[in-house]
Amino acid sequence: MRPILMKGHERPLTFLKYNRDGDLLFSCAKDHNPTVWFADNGERLGTYRGHNGAVWCCDVSRDSARLITGSADQTAKLWNVQTGQQLFTFNFDSPARAVDFSVGDRLAVITTDPFMELSSAIHVKRIANDPADQVGESALILKGPQGRINRAVWGPLNRTIISAGEDAVIRIWDSETGKLLKENDKEVGHKKTITSLAKSVDGSHFLTGSLDKSAKLWDIRTLTLIKTYVTERPVNAVAMSPLLDHVVLGGGQDASAVTTTDHRAGKFEAKFYDKVLQEEIGGVKGHFGPINALAFNPDGKSFSSGGEDGYVRLHHFDSDYFNIKI
Partner 1 sequence: MTLMTAQNQPAKLRWGEFEEDDVDDLDFLLPPKQLIGPDENGIKKVIEYKFNEDGNKFNVTTTSRTRKLANARLSKRAVERRSWPKFGDAVHEDVGARLTMVSTEEILLERPRTPGSKAEEPKAGGDSLAQLGKGGAALKLCRTCGKKGDHWTSQCPYKDLAPQAEAFSDKPPTSDAAAGAAGTGKYVPPSVRAGADRTGSDMRRRNDENSVRVTNLPEDTREPDLLELFRPFGAVSRVYVALDKNTSISRGFGFVNFVNREDAQRAINKLNGYGYDNLILRVEWATPRTN
User: Which residues bind to partner 1, rule: CB under 8 A?
Assistant: 1-8, 21-24, 33, 35, 37-38, 40-49, 63-64, 82-84, 230, 232, 261-262, 264-265, 269, 272, 279-286, 299, 301-302, 313, 315-318, 321, 324-326
To partner 1, the closest distance from the beta carbon of 269 in angstroms equals 8
To partner 1, the closest distance from the beta carbon of 56 in angstroms equals 19
In this complex, which beta carbon is closest to partner 1, that of residue 85 or of residue 222? 85
The C-alpha angle 149, 150, 155, rounded to 5 degrees, equals 85
In this complex, which beta carbon is closest to partner 1, that of residue 218 or of residue 272? 272
In this complex, which beta carbon is closest to partner 1, that of residue 87 or of residue 223? 87
At residue 125, the 3 state secondary structure works out as strand
CB 36 within 8 A of CB 24: yes
Which positions ≥6 away from 74 have C-beta within 8 Å? Answer: 53, 91, 92, 93, 94, 95, 96, 112
DSSP state at residue 300:
S
- The Cα–Cα gap between 138 and 97 comes to 16
To partner 1, the closest distance from the beta carbon of 212 in angstroms equals 13
At residue 209, what is the residue type? G
CB 9 within 8 A of CB 310: yes
To partner 1, the closest distance from the beta carbon of 262 in angstroms equals 5
To partner 1, the closest distance from the beta carbon of 124 in angstroms equals 28
In this complex, which beta carbon is closest to partner 1, that of residue 199 or of residue 271? 271
To partner 1, the closest distance from the beta carbon of 265 in angstroms equals 7
- The Cα–Cα gap between 79 and 17 comes to 15
In this complex, which beta carbon is closest to partner 1, that of residue 218 or of residue 321? 321
Instruction: Please list, residue by residue across 112-133, b when 16 or more beta carbons sit within 10 angstroms of its beta carbon and e when fewer do.
Output: bbbeeeeebbbbbbebeeeeee
In this complex, which beta carbon is closest to partner 1, that of residue 24 or of residue 194? 24
